[in-house]
Structure 1
């Protein structure tokens, strides 16, 4: 009788154990859910408690650039996509696998380019611009807090305004606006203090 009781206790204990990392999350056992979670990111609620003046200044300047319409790109490239030209940029070969994979997504910037973002450490991203007609990597920017860009605009916001950042502590997180012109990023004026 005691053996049956010990067996029952052992089975109960093993059934109540915490999920191990090897078992994975619910998303990993349900591929459709994992795809949905990857597509939909959770946005941090806007709270400008860290540094409201800087955040507002960056936000307003960024919105003014977006609303101006001066960076609009009306034509969208619809021809065949050229393969990656690894010799076109000194860093292209080192990141060729990530760049090639991202190029599968098509045009996502300024009518005929693909911006490819590659991590380069904690709080570090490199943003490569690839011309889809030629496959050449034309330019690259490095930032700390992401980027904002669209297929129908030459405007590129490095480190877009984020109310959860403390700009006084993260000097490399300050937003910077660029226009992509003649295959290069041209820095736009920063907001006045």
Structure 2
């Protein structure tokens, strides 16, 4: 494993802020943000045991947790199944924190029940046109991209005909509203 991470304490702000620390040196070239990614894609190439030890040590040091949407959720999927173009565009941006991702699974009235999925994605040449609403998409109002589940065909079984779509949240017609947190009026962080 690489040399230990140097920690620099950062004072918490606001009544709702938790203990925070900034870890210097997690970004490339070490690949420490992509601990479950292959080396060829900018990650560490570590085994599950090495990742466990790394995560344990970060926790013991009081390091801030990683926002999982890009690095932990969509990044490994793109490493395994993305096109070369998607990998070239999105993976470096995720590892360098130049692009922020949101997860779009839950919907009003359906929660995360896939049988109740209402967001439709209709093919338009090489693209899809999305029509519907997502909710509980943590950080979507800050995100550049969203990976979401959408209904791409009308199957007899409601659990069928569902695809994962990556969408640019800066596209025309897309609006993201933050859901206020209970402590939002008191937090400054």
Q: TM-score band (shorter)?
A: under 0.3
Give the number of the structure whose alpha-carbon radius of gyration is greater: 1
TM-score by length of 1: 0.22
